[in-house]
Amino acid sequence: MRLLIKTAVLSSILLFVTGCNYEFSEDYFKEIQINEPNVNISLNGFTNGEQTRSSKMVQYAISGVVNYEFEMIVKVNEVEIYRSQERTGDFYLFVDDLNDGNHNLTIEYIFPTNSGSLADALGGEFYTGVTSYNFILDKSLASPFGIESIDIVEGSIFINLNPIADNNFEEAFLVIKNEYDFILEERPIAQEDLTNLQIHDDQTIIYNPSYAIKVKNAFKEDISDFVLLPTEKMQFTLEYIDYSNYKMIYNGHPFYGNFDIMRIEYYDFFSGNRNYIINTIGGEQIIHHSFDTNRTYYPALKFFKNDMLIETIGDPAHIFQFI
């Protein structure tokens, strides 16, 4: 950039203001030449022409500015989003309110010329530059890939995923719902599981869980259809031996591989709370206790893993049947 200053013009203005008469010599007129500075802007976290799917921080560094009086302005579609007098820093590129498609990012910078002219001395001569970029905002979201099948292997749950044809999502979650249509949790799906198209659920213990896949990006989310995993609930039959002894016969828990210890607990009016550790895969066990067979007992099941209580389940199906 070349900037030409006619100092005679400025002098004439001063003479007019002061009312003095002055005649310029022929060699008074001179041109002041300003060479264009070599300003360079470096952005980290942003590439010109990129496709972006979320708001983000962008780091910047501006070199080639030798003057301490400096200011830079960042605009998106001509709307200012950031202003600073620092040559390095970062700004937040907020795109949530923008529509899909092409958008402009500009960085303007301004600083004195230091030309030595009267205008420069009076603070009225600046060098201004603009660097323009563009980016494409994509808010679209892939349809959730869903679940192909669910298997129970050695008492643990393996969820097989459909092939993932569209990776246009930022996060994927395994959504778990109980038999009463209540969503219990959403677990993030690891990249390894997405690659292998299989999730090993070694935590769920509830009967009849349903599973779905949810995908998200910064703007939207979508969920697949739920797939039910039907299970058989535990049943407890107490066979009379004598007054103070009963044989308890029971089936195993469908997800016996997801815990270490299972304990049955019930309340008796005369003896209070009673509990017994029982076999996770079912069987028979002698209970040294007398029961009032005219009463209804609703035992609860407690599950332990790594010496910690992880779940307590009380179910209407857990009724002592006396024979």
pLDDT at 113: 62
Task: Give residue limits of the domains in the chain.
Answer: 40-137, 147-228, 236-322
Q: Does residue 12 surpass a pLDDT of 50?
A: no
The answer to whether domain 147-228 has CATH 2.60.40.10 is yes
CB-count exposure of residue 322 (10 Å: 0-12, 13-18, 19+): middle
CATH of domain 40-137: 2.60.40.10
Q: Give 215-245 pLDDT, tens digit per residue.
A: 999 899 999 999 999 999 999 999 999 988 9
Token digits for 314?
Answer: 């009380």
The two tokens of residue 11 are: 């002098």
* Residue 67 DSSP code: -
Do the beta carbons of residue 68 and residue 35 sit within 8 Å?
A: no
Domains 40-137 and 236-322 share a fold: yes
pLDDT digits (tens, 9 = 90+) for 178-198: 999 999 999 999 999 999 999
CATH number of 236-322: 2.60.40
Contact status, residue 311 vs residue 209, Cβ threshold 8 Å: no
Query: Whole-model pTM?
Result: 0.72
